[in-house]
Amino acid sequence: MKPNEYIEHDATGLAELIRDKQVSVDEVHQAARTAIETVNPTLNAVVEGPWDRALDCNEQGLFAGVPFALKDFAVHAAGVPTRFGSRLAGEGAIFPHDTELMTRFRAAGLAAVAVTTTPEFAFNGNTEPVAQGSTRNPWDTERSAGGSSGGSAALVAARALPIAHATDGGGSIRIPASANGLVGLKPSRGRVPVGPDSSEPLSGLGAELGLARSVRDCAALLDAVSGPAPGDKYVIRDPSRPYSDEINRSPGRLRIAIHTQSWSGDPVNIEVANAVSSVGTVLEGLGHHVIPDTPVFDWDQFVEANLPVWSVSLAEGVDALAGAFGVTPGPENLEATTLACVEYGRRVTAIQLARALAVFNQVSRSVGMFFTNYDLLLTPTLGEPPQLLGELDSNDASLSPSEWTRKLFGICSFTPLFNATGGPAISLPLGSTRSGLPIGVQLAAPMCEEGTLIAVASQLEKVVPWAHRIPKVNAGEC
């Protein structure tokens, strides 16, 4: 399989070729390794790999052995080092077991060939950890690939892989999807299992799935891995039909709210706002009723609630890892804002954490009431195009935990609301700047309405296709 043939196909297309015996798994894996080796020297998106032999998977599964990558955070495969984007982990923590999600990836026929970069402990909107250096955006290598799933996003956008794992605690699937011109769905809380090592990452803010180039791949991935695992804290309503069946289903005439102003008060780039407005016009042309409106909540209170939740999670994770490795967390092995948040997190009381969770409850109730009047909410994913490298410096010792959190959430202000509510949200590559940088547009829905998101996303993909847009750095160059 030649590189220019390999990059033409999404994961579903490659799986069809394999099942039809038009190409072998080995040929596809060799193409993937060559593709990664071609783009990675420029993008710096890989921590481990590409391996000569992919991790074992069920080649009779839905994806038939299609190459895949694991983010260096949350998910883990038995025997494969996890570094969490941090110097603290040294050569990596090695677990003797798969997470439940990794087991499902294998069963679905996803063959992991590499581990991708992430910012330190995934607490950043870009991917520039001190441990591995900056991951670059394939559309413009002077710009960020976003975060925290930046390495996965850069490889998928550059056509080195058709699909890759990603996590989302405040936008970390949707942010890099926007920055790299991809499809990124954060599923409902409880839709995809996060065990057995965790019951609710980030006190319920965290979710896992992946990044893809097509809506059908996103739907197929969700079909393959969703559903409760034994002992899960949350068991939510099953979909009424497979998500892949939503691709060609008419969602009917929906009520869709549209909002283009940042809840943080930060300015929104005019090209981004115009892109969202254009999508609103397209949705009206598809028969939907599009109405300017927004949920109402206290942004300052919301951000202040995120600070203790994130800091306690960081403190717990860092201290557990440091204890396992017999090291002391400090400036020689942690970035400045991580260390500051860890120290803050150790001081958070149970009452302070409970008050933060109470704020999330208030916000969720308000947004839940908002969605009694609307089926979807349309916003930008990010308030601006992909940032220049260095604009979110997590090693800036001048920033307090509160200042760092406010800076980060101000830049990524449209995404974290739906981590607090637990509802699903998807970023679609429906716009671009005059200079050709991708602009992501976010659609959010009430809990358990991934099917509606996928149906509308598929409508938009047909009317405003994006598969023909390929970044400057791409695997077809090899």
Q: Which residues are catalytic?
A: 71, 148, 172
Instruction: Give the integer Cα–Cα distance in Å for 320 and 315.
Output: 8
Contact between 205 and 169 under an 8 Å Cβ cutoff? The reply is yes
Helix (H, G, I), strand (E, B) or coil at 441: strand
Give the orientation angle of helix 336-347 with respect to helix 299-325, to 10 degrees. Answer: 100
Please tell me the distance from the alpha carbon of residue 414 to that of residue 261, in angstroms, as a whole number.
Answer: 9
Provide the 10 A C-beta neighbour count for residue 70.
Answer: 30
Q: How far apart are the first and last CA of the chain?
A: 12
How many CB atoms neighbour CB 259 within 10 A?
A: 16
Give the number of other Cβ atoms within 10 Å of residue 235's Cβ. 10
DSSP letter for 26, please.
H
Q: At 51, is the secondary structure helix, strand, or coil? A: coil
Instruction: Please check whether residue 87 is in contact with residue 130, taking contact to mean a CB–CB distance below 8 angstroms.
Output: yes
Residue 319 exposure: Cα atoms within 13 Å on the Cβ side: 12
Query: Distances in Å between the alpha carbon of 445 and those of 283, 425, 474?
Result: 15, 6, 33
Alpha helices in 129-285 (DSSP H): 150-157, 174-180, 215-225, 270-285
**Would you state the structure tokens that stand for residue 168, as one six-digit string?**
């989302």
CA 52, 176, 439, 187 dihedral sign is positive
The full DSSP string for 312-367 is HHHHHHHHHHHHHHT---STTTS-HHHHHHHHHHHH--HHHHHHHHHHHHHHHHHH
Q: Residue type at 398?
A: S
